[in-house]
């Protein structure tokens, strides 16, 4: 069974009661994203951060439960983390920190830790407002986006990679009842 654990910075602790941050909702998003990606793995998709080999196959990856940690912070901490991680001096909407645990250790643990997503709530709310989107839909999109980053997909290395990642996002979001975030009229 896949698991999401969420924690909050002290400055945003009051957000813990919001429906958008309930672990069951976040776990449902993770489960749906992984179900879509599992189908793609069965079709031969390679996950950049997970090396399938004789002792750790795509089938093994699919069978093992996954865990995801989410941390919600405010603007000041989001800015500091973005500066440390990416050298960019502003708070961003989401940061992803993939797990670097080797595949053979994951098999022994009987769990695949995907890594951690850091959400800057203030930025998510501001962007949703600026883009005329609901906070829930925007956050769902960012979670899917972050999960794909944790699997090794990267939209910043080339147009083909961006197109691939966006197509995965659109497909996953459709199944979650969220329109195409790249077309204003669907979101």
Please report, in range form, the residues annotated as the binding site for Zn(2+).
145, 149, 155
Q: Which residues are annotated as a binding site?
A: 145, 149, 155
Beta bridge partners of 6: 70
Q: Which residue has the tokens 């979101």?
A: 187
- CB-based contact 68:117 (threshold 8 Å): yes
Q: What stretches of 43-154 show up as alpha helix (H) in DSSP?
A: 58-63, 75-86, 103-109, 121-131, 135-150
Residue 27 CA to residue 33 CA, distance in Å, equals 10
Beta bridge partners of 119: 72, 94
């Amino acid at each position: 069974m896949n698991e999401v654990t969420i924690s909050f910075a002290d400055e945003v602790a009051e957000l813990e009661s919001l429906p958008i941050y309930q672990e069951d909702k976040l776990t449902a998003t993770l489960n749906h994203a992984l179900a879509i990606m599992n189908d793609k793995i069965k079709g031969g998709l390679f996950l950049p951060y997970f090396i399938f080999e004789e002792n750790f196959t795509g089938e093994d990856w699919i069978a093992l439960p996954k865990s995801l940690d989410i941390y919600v912070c405010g603007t000041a901490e989001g800015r500091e983390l973005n500066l440390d991680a990416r050298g960019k001096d502003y708070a961003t909407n989401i940061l992803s920190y993939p797990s670097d645990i080797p595949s053979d250790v994951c098999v022994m643990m009987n769990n695949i830790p995907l890594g951690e997503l850091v959400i800057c709530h203030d930025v998510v709310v501001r962007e949703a407002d600026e883009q005329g989107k609901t906070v829930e839909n925007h956050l769902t999109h960012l979670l899917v986006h972050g999960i794909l980053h944790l699997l090794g997909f990267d939209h910043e290395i080339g147009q083909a990679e961006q197109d691939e990642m966006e197509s995965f996002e659109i497909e996953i979001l459709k199944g979650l009842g969220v329109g195409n975030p790249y077309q204003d009229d669907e979101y």
